[in-house]
Chain A
Amino acid sequence: MSTAVQAAAAPVDERLLRTSPLRRVLGRPELGAVVGAVAVFVFFAFAADSFLRASSLSTVLYAASTIGIMAVPVALLMIGGEFDLSAGVLVTTSALVSSMFSYQMTANVWVGVGVSLLVTLAVGAFNGFMLTRTRLPSFIITLGTYLMLIGMNLGFTKLISDTVSTKTIADMEGFPEAKAVFASTLTVGGVNFKITILWWLLLIVVASWILLRTRVGNWIFAVGGNEAAARAVGVPVRATKIGLYMGVALAAWISGQHLLFSYDVVQSGEGVGNELIYIIAAVIGGCLITGGYGSAVGSAVGALIFGMTSKGIVFAEWEPDWFKFFLGAMLLLATLLNHWVRKRAEATK
């Protein structure tokens, strides 16, 4: 095809020196987070005697997984250049829909779980559709969704249950099976692990696969890095963005079902503020807040830092209030480190 355009005998110079492994490592988006995670780990290993116990590590992993499940698609969305402020309360919405639909309409929880999936995906599609239609900033669109969901979570729950929490569904058909899928505990070598850790790993693997190896992954980087250029070469920008929001919704559904089947009732006011934690995990994990750069694995490391810090403070028997301080400091440090690393990587090209 292209044989026709021949450059006038380009002098072949073999400058193909393999880039040094160090530079390759420095170029990874998750480097800052990994360094931070090691530092936090070492810190709490010394500060809290019980931190290194297998049971403690499993607690840390559980805390990390509940954040990580959401941080993965939120990171992909951020790479695609957008935010989702409704992600935290959408988890609660998903749990509420599942619980209340099952309770009111049927005798089997799986029906509610299925309806919840549809409703949650519809909210994600709504976010994406509004964004691509109106071209308003995603900050505004999802802030609107966030507020509407908070209102609906409380409003519908009070309307249907007369209180702010749902009625228990623990005695309903299908509950044990659903609990096994979304909220069971697995014992490996004498240590108990929550099944959310498996969901989290699965999401990391699938998201990394999509991002690094598929066409869609290429499109995600492109719509976040330069939307106009992506559109001009024929990338389906709208579909990509709507798909990213639906990915967040899918993870919100998994998280929501976990929430429901862990406790069998749902508090309708939950989830507010979590959206920022997901974003923080993604940013600590090396996602560029302006889009076009980042990784799913990075967001997982960000979530791990989050889990280690929140539980480490408890193991060290400190005032838990310090947790927020740690998280803030971590966010600043990680962002600075990422910034510095990227500058270095680009300078030494």
Chain B
Amino acid sequence: MTTATEPTAERTTGDAPLVELEQVSKYYGNVRALEGVSLQARAGEITCVLGDNGAGKSTLIKIISGLHGHDAGSFRIDGEETRLAGPRAALDRGIATVYQDLAVVPLMPVWRNFFLGSEPTKGRGPLRRMDVEFMRRTAHAELRRMGIDLRDVDQPIGTLSGGERQCVAIARAVYFGARVLVLDEPTAALGVKQSGVVLKYVAAARDAGLAVVFITHNPHHAYLVGDRFVLLKRGAMAGHHTRDGITLDELTRQMAGGDELDDLRHELERPEAAAPPVTADADEGRPRS
């Protein structure tokens, strides 16, 4: 299964971050998806990447998880300049990614999904086979540990709720000894309670000594768990803060585009009058926050 990738918090709490991007750029043909973005992920810390739709968040993590190569800048793992050959290479370096939409194969049973790509085997030669009993038992136990008590690990994973699916994906990353856990908007499609469950396991993974990169466009979720915040805007860095350096209000303001939000507020707060006034004095005399 996994060999060289046990969480080694001791070894890496030193200086070099587990994963470091410096001035990284990525182009899709003539589309500039990322330009000069820097980020650090350290063991036992949660680095949040915030940004609007299309800001380049998914592109950023696709570089970290080996799906895309970067076009400029440097990408270091354990302080060592790297170019990943593919997702398998990232996994072998201890980087596990839970994707927004492509985390699981819906029609496959939970236990098959849990071990997909890293199936334990027994026997040799033509009799080499998956250790099905172990897989079922382990999947069930690991999920129960995360508070998901399945009636049947044979049920297709597509029949689980969105939050449960995210937790399965996180559980498997942790089980396989990831050192860096990358999560792409794990709470995006979830209700308040389910988001809470997911956030709890994000925090638990951090406490286990993993470096977590948490992508979201929800500043409230980010601020609940984050240690560092990287703000992206239209593919470029719009700010980098540590938890001590910023308040939730400020984060929300920056995330939403700050001044742009004020402008938007003006636009939306049209008077209750029937005819929308087009003159400048429309703003006057209304309570401002």
Contact = CB atoms under 8 A, between A and B. Distances in A.
Nearest to A223: B105
A231 B62 CA distance: 12
A287 to B, nearest CB: 12
Interface stretch (B18-26, B33-41, B144-152, B222-230): B144-152
A307 B110 CA distance: 37
B91 A234 contact: yes
Interface string A176-207: 00000000000000000000000000000000
A317 interface: no
A2 B156 CA distance: 24
Contacts, number: 133
Given A4-B209, A5-B208, A226-B106, A349 B159 contact: yes
Given A1-B177, A4-B209, A6-B204, A232 B106 contact: no
**Residue in B142, B149, B159, B175 with the greatest tally of chain A CB atoms within 10 Å:** B149
B147 A10 contact: yes
B104 interface: yes
B112 interface: yes
B145 A10 contact: yes
Nearest to A2: B175
Contact of A232 (B65, B147, B200): B65
Given A10-B144, A230-B117, A225 B105 contact: yes
Contacts of B200: 7-8
Contact of B105 (A217, A236, A292, A346): A292
Contacts of A222: 105, 108, 112, 116-117
Contacts of A8: 147, 200
Contacts of B130: 213-215, 217-218
B248 interface: no
Interface string A325-349: 0000000000000000000001001
Interface in A3-19: 4-8, 10, 12-13, 15-17, 19
A15 B209 CA distance: 33
B197 to A, nearest CB: 9
**Residue in B108, B149, B177 with the greatest tally of chain A CB atoms within 10 Å:** B108
B102 A10 contact: no
Interface in B83-99: 86-88, 91, 97, 99
A222 B201 CA distance: 26
Contacts of B99: 229, 232
Contacts of A228: 102
A217 B116 CA distance: 11
Interface string B257-282: 00000000000000000000000000
A145 B102 CA distance: 32
Contact of A2 (B65, B105, B174): B174
B116 A230 contact: yes
A213 B86 CA distance: 27
Given A5-B146, A5-B204, A10-B144, A19 B151 contact: yes
A288 B205 CA distance: 38
Given A4-B207, A218-B130, A233 B145 contact: no
A5 B105 CA distance: 24
Contacts of A346: 156, 158-159
Main SS of chain B's interface residues?
A: loop
Contact of B118 (A5, A232, A234, A292): A234
Contacts of A10: 144-147, 149
A5 B141 CA distance: 12
Interface in A235-272: 235-236
A163 B103 CA distance: 56
Contacts of B208: 4-5
B194 interface: no
Contacts of A234: 86-88, 91, 117-118
Given A5-B145, A5-B204, A10-B145, A230 B105 contact: yes
A16 B103 CA distance: 26
A229 B146 CA distance: 22
B115 A218 contact: yes
Contact of A293 (B107, B152, B159): B107
A306 interface: no
Nearest to A16: B151
A13 B149 contact: yes
A92 to B, nearest CB: 31
A236 B85 CA distance: 13
B238 interface: no
A5 B201 contact: yes
A230 to B, nearest CB: 7
A221 interface: yes
Nearest to A79: B107
A19 B156 CA distance: 14
28 contacts: A2-B142, A2-B145, A2-B175, A4-B207, A5-B204, A5-B208, A7-B146, A7-B204, A10-B144, A10-B145, A10-B149, A12-B149, A16-B151, A19-B154, A213-B129, A214-B130, A218-B112, A221-B112, A225-B107, A226-B102, A226-B104, A229-B116, A230-B116, A231-B87, A232-B103, A233-B117, A292-B107, A349-B159
Q: Please name the 7 residue pairs, one residue from A and one from B, whose CB atoms are nearest each other, closest first.
A: A4-B208, A233-B117, A225-B105, A234-B88, A234-B117, A10-B147, A7-B147
